[in-house]
Structure 1
């Protein structure tokens, strides 16, 4: 147990160099100065009392008074400097650790590991900025807290050495009792952290509800009067999460009666033993002051300062980060080289083919996939070939796996069985970042980035620059009029929070998202994926969609997913999914003539459109 605790504390101290040599060196110097000041104060106050006890004031009395005052001022000055330097060291260490966790998360090849409860809980503990009962799970605070504790120990040992010049038994007794009290208090209070860590998921839910109430669902809260509902949910979650913690705190307080008695007895001994020596005549009054202050300095180590909680809370975060690295670092590798299969040619799946490179042949071979935690497969034996330069539409009822198909194509998940090949090479063996640089994907739930219009378009292909290319993409997406109406043009900040930003309508955001993927195609992407690309467009814009967008891309394979069958009608092939596999495959006219499920879907939608027109 002692070996493990020592190793953990050394692990924290090894984090300090991440903050930089100058900052850490300054912090160490300040902590050392503050550790030596209490013993120096005890000696200086004793010397002042001795000088004043001679009955007359002279230069020595003034010098002694100045020394005492100077030490007290120095203590305050060092404390002020510590409050400046310590946060700097903390933020640098925390930033470094957060960057490591962020890099680890970004480099995970798929979403299955990222969405797992094990990863989520550990990541939450590793980067938790502090929320709840007297907790601050900061690695930086833990490292600087451990450094502070080291120098608190140094200060207590210095006071012990000073007190030992009067009485070795008293000095050792006070030190041992103080350390024992600290150990017991630490064990009792630190059990509260285990209670908090037992429900990391509940803490995330509590944060999510509070975030939604203030920002995410602000309009619904007002329109539907949901403030009481959110408040009730938040109270219920907070009670479930923190009630066990408060019960544990009360239990700890009830168990501490004997430590209070032991502390009182130690303080009495620190006062009484030197006082008895004065009464016997073996100790003068000046020495009494010095040794009493030294005794109190020894006992100060028994107090559980803020650093104790910083250490324990932060240590759990560091351990969580270590566990993440140990479990996921082997799989979180950017640029994974192919493990098997033929050598990938330039412009194929292993490298981001430039403009003009041929689109790949993509095959789904008996692919079976179920989301983690679900026993029912979304795709169940899917076999499908996407040929180079072809426009393929995927349709079907809700929940048949259309969007899942896109996620597997992007390597965000791996099939449970079967395989996906790109030009004959298993997708699971390829350099996934390079493969993704060949894709231009418009997801159904595309992101509204709180950035300029220019950035919202260019994020899909940062390597391509130039406002002309941005305007061209917006024009092809039908966004020219929108661009003209925005106050700042391409520099307009698209942000719905605050008065300085400009929010867009659903249809306008759809055009921005379309421009984003068209911009990526202009940068050389060879596979264009459009998942519900007309969901927010009006009837006229939807009717122009194929002519304006799909038909104008060249040397690109296009995968089009939509519930609106009028959008997919011009596609080279239409694939209907049912029960996780291909049920129908052919052209629009061929499927209509076959009179199957696609024909029935199209007839229903066409009738609804005609009825609406009347």
Structure 2
């Protein structure tokens, strides 16, 4: 209930008033219908009672229609607050180690659950509206019991106690199923991932290789594995419901039988019979488990998950935001050791390296040598197990370095050309600088209008080839470097380009980088010859360091790798 004000005072007030109307109308209707029947049996003009019944009927229907909309809007507003909280926590984490952990992923999935699954919505917003609904269902039951007590206080008290007792038992039985659903959050995420891949991620492969049955089978298997225990629990609960049905039947018989006997004795008129019976039905209605009970229970767990996420992100550990650099920074790695969470061996093991301000350094090595890991530590995405990393004297976990990184698996934003280039830096933006960055990246064949959408699924959207998307991503990195992010990292930036285009890229981009410390990672050694220095990593350390000519003269691994690649390339040319 403490989340209700998050929807806004006006919306919260409207929700409470509409729920109060829905709580009062049934009891008022029971009284009004009884008066109408008494008036008709007495032969009196029924205009007043008819007007009252019609007014209550209309009020109930209009209130119900408004309540549906207000409940939905309230729930979504509260959900927005929770999602914003989760976003803030995720964005404020100092690195990826916590973000990528199973504990964080499970809690994040619970906190922002969209409501997919078996009879559930874990949304905190639905829990808020469900709690308000339950409060006023209780108010309605008490109001009906009060009206029934005008006929028989013992009957009213007995029906209320039985109804609440049945509800408590039902809640205990059905809520145990929620534990089953929460037991396999990873399975629910996998089910969602498979369905998303089949529709978007692997759509071309599905058509080309006929993988519809493959994905359908995976989805069904995931659903059975995840929800099979839930379905078995549902059947078990249903088998234990027989005695509850018997108790409710006896209570309903009492609600009908005692007033009927009073009518036969002449102690109750027909109008009073209608009022008493409808009031009894109103009391018994609280015994039913509405969906609000599930909404509350699931939403509480989602809210608990959001609170746990906040506890996993202490504010004191968040690094200060990056500031635009006036000059190229110097980077130092000193005896850095790092092992990925859950790993059994260090990826970097005693790495010591200095990147001087303004120079271009190529980092090469075999797969698994630690090239991309070096970049992630430099950017502050992970913290080293031991050793230090500084950028102009400050650690990445203390102050974000002015870095822009282009990873091999770069992001294709469903946005305009301008937004795809300027996404890494805050506004204002300069279209002339955007076009210059695109030109330096060698991007061609793009829409002339920078506002043109690069979302292929949109009505007027345009898709690009792999090479064009890579050029746009390069332009994004270059634009950010020109706006003060003067530590430029290009991690396999030319993977989708041919050899000649790659060579042209390095001549155009790397050689043209002004007042920027540039780290270039590549497997194709022929394209890094223009770098000021070339670093070869082996076993998580710097094995060789020098210019292209110096490393060839040294005759080590770099020379062997370069000679092998050059021979393969020239052989292919012949």
The TM-score range, normalised by the shorter chain, is over 0.9
**Count of aligned pairs:** 574
For each residue in 1:241-293, what CA deviation from the matched residue of structure 2 results, as whole angstroms up to 9, or x when unmatched? Answer: 01000000000000111110000010001111122222233222221211111
Aligned partner of 1:344 in structure 2 is none
Aligned partner of 1:512 in structure 2 is 472
RMSD, aligned α-carbons: 1.5
CA 1:334–1:294 in 2, change beyond 3 Å: closer, same or farther? farther
Aligned partner of 2:408 in structure 1 is 444
Q: 2:36 aligns with which of 48, 56, 63?
A: 48
Deviation, structure 1 residue 499: 5.2
SS at match of 2:511: helix
Q: 1:206 aligns with which of 184, 188, 191?
A: 191
SS at match of 1:494: coil
Alignment of 1:182-197 (within 5 A): 182-197=167-182
2:495 and 2:318 mapped to 1: Cα distance? 36
Alignment of 1:156-305 (within 5 A): 156-305=141-290
State whether residues 347 and 369 of structure 2, in contact with CA within 8 Å, keep that contact through their aligned partners in structure 1: yes
For each residue in 1:300-342, what CA deviation from the matched residue of structure 2 results, as whole angstroms up to 9, or x when unmatched? Answer: 1001112111111211111111111123243574637xxxxxx
State whether residues 126 and 320 of structure 1, in contact with CA within 8 Å, keep that contact through their aligned partners in structure 2: yes
For each residue in 1:157-206, what CA deviation from the matched residue of structure 2 results, as whole angstroms up to 9, or x when unmatched? Answer: 01111111221111111101100100111111111111010000000000
Alignment of 1:421-440 (within 5 A): 421-428=390-397, 430-432=398-400, 435=401, 438-440=402-404
Q: 2:74 aligns with which of 89, 106, 117?
A: 89
2:36 and 2:531 mapped to 1: Cα distance? 96
Aligned partner of 2:346 in structure 1 is 377
2:418 and 2:498 mapped to 1: Cα distance? 24
2:248 and 2:171 mapped to 1: Cα distance? 15
1:293 and 1:334 mapped to 2: Cα distance? 64
For each residue in 1:70-90, what CA deviation from the matched residue of structure 2 results, as whole angstroms up to 9, or x when unmatched? Answer: 212221111011112111111
Aligned partner of 1:478 in structure 2 is 442
- Is 1:137 paired with 2:108? no
CA 1:272–1:451 in 2, change beyond 3 Å: closer, same or farther? same
Deviation, structure 1 residue 495: 2.1
Q: 1:463 aligns with which of 427, 449, 452?
A: 427
State whether residues 458 and 464 of structure 1, in contact with CA within 8 Å, keep that contact through their aligned partners in structure 2: no
Alignment of 1:71-90 (within 5 A): 71-90=56-75
1:285 and 1:19 mapped to 2: Cα distance? 46
State whether residues 363 and 537 of structure 2, in contact with CA within 8 Å, keep that contact through their aligned partners in structure 1: yes
- Is 1:352 paired with 2:323? yes
Deviation, structure 1 residue 585: 1.0
Q: Which moved more, 1:210-219 or 1:441-450?
A: 441-450
SS at match of 2:450: helix
CA 1:85–1:353 in 2, change beyond 3 Å: closer, same or farther? closer
Aligned partner of 1:530 in structure 2 is 490
- Is 1:125 paired with 2:110? yes
For each residue in 1:575-595, what CA deviation from the matched residue of structure 2 results, as whole angstroms up to 9, or x when unmatched? Answer: 111111111111111111111
1:216 and 1:366 mapped to 2: Cα distance? 41
Q: 2:334 aligns with which of 365, 381, 405?
A: 365
2:129 and 2:317 mapped to 1: Cα distance? 30
Q: 1:321 aligns with which of 294, 299, 306?
A: 306
Alignment of 1:575-614 (within 5 A): 575-614=535-574
1:404 and 1:583 mapped to 2: Cα distance? 16
SS at match of 2:138: helix
- Is 1:392 paired with 2:361? yes
1:171 and 1:425 mapped to 2: Cα distance? 73
State whether residues 366 and 418 of structure 1, in contact with CA within 8 Å, keep that contact through their aligned partners in structure 2: yes
SS at match of 1:571: coil
1:581 and 1:553 mapped to 2: Cα distance? 27
Unaligned runs of 5+ in 2: none
2:305 and 2:486 mapped to 1: Cα distance? 40
Aligned partner of 1:6 in structure 2 is none
2:470 and 2:164 mapped to 1: Cα distance? 65
CA 1:230–1:578 in 2, change beyond 3 Å: closer, same or farther? same
State whether residues 137 and 316 of structure 1, in contact with CA within 8 Å, keep that contact through their aligned partners in structure 2: yes
2:276 and 2:35 mapped to 1: Cα distance? 12
Aligned partner of 1:38 in structure 2 is 26
1:334 and 1:178 mapped to 2: Cα distance? 56
The alignment's TM-score, normalised by the length of structure 1, stands at 0.91
2:359 and 2:82 mapped to 1: Cα distance? 46
1:289 and 1:282 mapped to 2: Cα distance? 14
Unaligned runs of 5+ in 1: 1-12, 337-350
Q: Which moved more, 1:457-466 or 1:120-129?
A: 457-466
CA 1:65–1:504 in 2, change beyond 3 Å: closer, same or farther? same
State whether residues 128 and 317 of structure 1, in contact with CA within 8 Å, keep that contact through their aligned partners in structure 2: yes
1:19 and 1:326 mapped to 2: Cα distance? 24
The alignment's TM-score, normalised by the length of structure 2, stands at 0.97
SS at match of 1:328: coil
Aligned partner of 1:420 in structure 2 is 389
